Amino acid sequence: MPTATKEDGFVVFDHVQKSYDGEILVVKDLNLFIGQGEFLTMLGPSGSGKTTCLMMLAGFETATHGDILLGGKPINNIPPHKRGIGMVFQNYALFPHMTVAENLSFPLEVRGQGKSEREANVMKALDMVQMGEFGGRRPAQLSGGQQQRIALARALVFEPELVLMDEPLGALDKQLREHMQYEIKHIHERLGVTVVYVTHDQSEALTMSDRIAVFDDGIIQQLATPDDLYERPDNAFVAQFIGENNTLNGTVKAIKDGIATVDFGDGTLGEALAVNCAGVGSETTLSIRPERVDIGKESGPNAVPAKVLELIYLGDHIRCRMNVMGNDQFVVKVPNAAGHKHLVVGETTKVSWNSEDCRALD
């Protein structure tokens, strides 16, 4: 999906700021453009500003500065119920005294739909989430996963162009949560509705999104596709927050043809892409994914000493925790093949990586 611009963005945050006390900005000069039909996830730790952005878009919070546009029109002063936006929350927010069908019918009644049209749209929405036989039940008679499906159906029943989801799967168990991730992704693909999704779960964001905006301290640290974020993080925060990541600290000794040579402090050298480091003589952090590290290669530009500290069997791979250049939380994922049997806790060996798979970051 092409990246949206301010001119063609369906959802636009234009220099948006938010402060609750008039002093501290929880959202700092946000410029974000979301294309029509895009699935964009706002991802970040608690307090990073992601939920505040969603609440401003929904109309439950007011921007301190800047404009929010929907379909080219400013919506800062439009009340939530007139924005035509579907919402799904973690706590489902279903009316307990209403049946499932009545819960779905309510937003249609508010919009003045006739009874027969409402009934047809309710059944269509229930079938969409595979809950067509549950219209007569009340929310208390449903499991958590079923309630979440109904909450999703209610958000879609009036065919909004934009659906906002705030940690919608947070209350579900792991297996059901993963199943619902694919369900929501497939419904989005089928309907083409624009989705803005908030989560702190990076695997959820990677699974579902067209693009991910990684928030920290009220700022988007990086906005990119899932594979770009994982393979090419812009800074150390993104590298650490997205997926599992190993870090090694050192000093830049040289930079040539985009490759930084780094001294780990004892004369041992390693190489990495010079992505975001200040230059020769500066301190840097090397970032390397566990699955991109090899064990046992004795020579090469990135062969450094390592000691095996722990082996954990995880079925498809062995998680090998090692001490590498003073970091005793360095992890290597070893595919579960015959070769893993040579690993022994306490043994010393070497680890290595391709320079192109390692990034020198600030």
CATH 2.40.50.140 residue ranges for the chain:
244-361
* Percentage of the chain modeled with pLDDT above 90: 64
Q: What is the pLDDT of residues 139-156, one digit of tens each?
A: 999 988 888 889 889 898
Whether the predicted pLDDT of 278 surpasses 70: yes
Residue 350 CA neighbour count, 13 Å, CB half? 13
344, two tokens: 């022994």
* Percentage of the chain modeled with pLDDT above 70: 97
- The whole-number pLDDT of residue 297 equals 81
Cβ-based neighbour number of residue 298 at 10 Å = 8
Find out whether 310 and 321 touch, Cβ atoms under 8 Å: yes
Q: Which of 27, 121, 103, 100 lies closest to 65, judged by CA?
A: 27
In this prediction the pTM is 0.88
Find out whether 108 and 116 touch, Cβ atoms under 8 Å: no
Q: Is 244-361 in CATH node 2.40.50.140?
A: yes
- The whole-number pLDDT of residue 247 equals 93
Instruction: Indicate the burial class of 361 (C-beta count within 10 angstroms; 0-12, 13-18, 19 or more).
Output: buried
Q: What is the pLDDT of residues 254-269, one digit of tens each?
A: 999 999 999 998 889 9
pLDDT, mean of residues 91-116: 88
- The whole-number pLDDT of residue 340 equals 56
CATH 3.40.50.300 residue ranges for the chain:
11-236
Q: Say which CATH superfamily domain 11-236 falls into.
A: P-loop containing nucleotide triphosphate hydrolases (3.40.50.300)
Distance CA 271, CA 295 (A): 17
